[in-house]
Amino acid sequence: MLNMVHFLKKVLKDKLTDIEISKLYSSFDIIGEIAIIKIPESIEEKKEIIGNSLMDNIKNVKSVFSQSSPVRGEFRIRDLELIAGKDQTITYYKEHGCIFKVDVRNTYFSPRLSTERIRISNLISDDKLQNQKDVVINMFGGVGTYSIIIAKKNPQCIVYNIDSNIHAHVLCQENAKLNKVENRVFSIFGDAKDVINSNLSNTANRVLMPLPEKAHEFIDEAVLSLYNRTGIIHYFSHVAAKNKKDVIPEVEKDNELKFKSYLIDLFNITVVREVGPRIYQVVSDIKVM
Task: Report the residue number, 162 or 264, with the smaller CB distance to ligand SAM.
Answer: 162
30 phi/psi in degrees, rounded to 5: -120, 125
Q: Which of residues 199-218 bind ligand SAM (CB under 6 A)?
A: 210-211
Is residue 186 packed enough to be buried (19+ CB in 10 Å), middle (13-18) or exposed (0-12)? Answer: buried
Report if residue 114 touches ligand SAM, rule: CB under 6 A.
no
Single-letter residue type at 281? Q
Task: Report the residue number, 33 or 191, with the smaller CB distance to ligand SAM.
Answer: 191
Report if residue 222 touches ligand SAM, rule: CB under 6 A.
no
Q: Closest-CB residue for ligand SAM?
A: 142
Which stretches of the chain are assigned E, i.e. beta strand? 2-3, 27-31, 34-37, 63-67, 80-85, 90-95, 98-103, 135-138, 158-163, 185-189, 206-209, 231-240, 264-276, 279-288
Q: Looking at 168, 176, 247, 269, which residue binds ligand SAM (CB under 6 A)?
A: 168
Report if residue 75 touches ligand SAM, rule: CB under 6 A.
yes
Is residue 226 packed enough to be buried (19+ CB in 10 Å), middle (13-18) or exposed (0-12)? Answer: buried
Minimal distance, residue 109 CB to ligand SAM, in Å: 6
Distance CA 25, CA 231 (A): 41
Distance CA 201, CA 206 (A): 12
Distance CA 101, CA 103 (A): 7
Task: Report the residue number, 9 or 105, with the smaller CB distance to ligand SAM.
Answer: 105
Task: Report the residue number, 210 or 231, with the smaller CB distance to ligand SAM.
Answer: 210
Q: Tell me how many residues contact ligand SAM (CB under 6 A).
A: 20
Report if residue 142 touches ligand SAM, rule: CB under 6 A.
yes
Contact stretch for ligand SAM (CB under 6 A) within 54-62, 90-98, 156-164, 238-246: 156-164
Minimal distance, residue 192 CB to ligand SAM, in Å: 4
**Which residue intervals of 100-165 are DSSP H helices?**
114-128, 145-153
Task: Report the residue number, 143 or 269, with the smaller CB distance to ligand SAM.
Answer: 143
Report if residue 191 touches ligand SAM, rule: CB under 6 A.
yes
Report if residue 231 touches ligand SAM, rule: CB under 6 A.
no
Q: Strand, helix or coil at 250?
A: helix
Report if residue 93 touches ligand SAM, rule: CB under 6 A.
no
Task: Report the residue number, 51 or 142, with the smaller CB distance to ligand SAM.
Answer: 142
Task: Report the residue number, 134 or 163, with the smaller CB distance to ligand SAM.
Answer: 163
CB 113 within 8 A of CB 208: no
**Which residue intervals of 136-261 are DSSP H helices?**
145-153, 166-178, 192-195, 219-225, 247-258
Residue 50 belongs to what H/E stretch? helix 47-57
Report if residue 74 touches ligand SAM, rule: CB under 6 A.
yes
The contact set with ligand SAM (CB under 6 A) reads: 74-76, 108-109, 113, 140-142, 145-146, 162-165, 168, 191-192, 210-211
